Amino acid sequence: MNQDFLGSSKKWDWETPWGDFKKINAVFHFKLDAAATLENSKCDTCITPEQDAFKTEWTPTPWFLNPPWGVAYKKEYGITMMDWVRRINDQVMLGYDGVFLCSARVDTEWWHTATMLASYILFPRRRIKFVDPNRTKKSSPTFPSCYIIYWDKPLTDEQYKRLGKIGILVEVCGPLATAS
């Protein structure tokens, strides 16, 4: 069992590894990292904690989001995963496409709320090894991750091919799912 992530509730700013980001970015060509620091942003444009992703529109699009999370983050900032999901849904309703990297917690209310407006969910073939805040090591969580994709246009054959190399792609057919 991964002991590093068991203690991760003390850390909330685990970074998306560049290798994983490059694979998903090759499909969607992200313009905005919606919750990052200048040091760990994956895009030329990012929304920093000082700019506040809850007060700033997520443009230019498409956006990428690996939000800060965990017990320590909730305790320090009072922000839950459901708060992030509500903000995502607000941005999607404004027409802003993007991808949300999160834990595949299919038994939670926030996960079901997050997928209601999604077009696709991508389940990677392996656990993502996130980079610790000090950038000294990578560690996999004790749970799987997924990419929830909010995309209002049909995927091209090339996009399907690239996503298939990352993992299993599932089209969402929920009551509020966008039409493909």
Span 152-178, pLDDT tens digits: 999 999 999 999 999 999 999 755 554
Cβ proximity of 133 and 13 under 8 Å: yes
Q: What is the pLDDT of residues 45-78, one digit of tens each?
A: 999 989 999 999 999 999 999 998 666 766 777 8
Alpha-carbon Rg for the chain, nearest whole angstrom, is 15
Distance CA(142)–CA(103), nearest Å, equals 10
Helical (H) or strand (E) element with 107: none
Tell me: pLDDT of 120 over 70.
yes
Q: How many helices (H) and strands (E) does the chain have?
A: 6, 9
Pick the more confident residue, 32 or 2: 32
Q: What is the pLDDT of residues 136-146, one digit of tens each?
A: 655 556 678 99
Q: For residue 111, give the nearest of 133, 80, 142 by alpha carbon.
A: 80
Beta bridge partners of 131: 15, 138
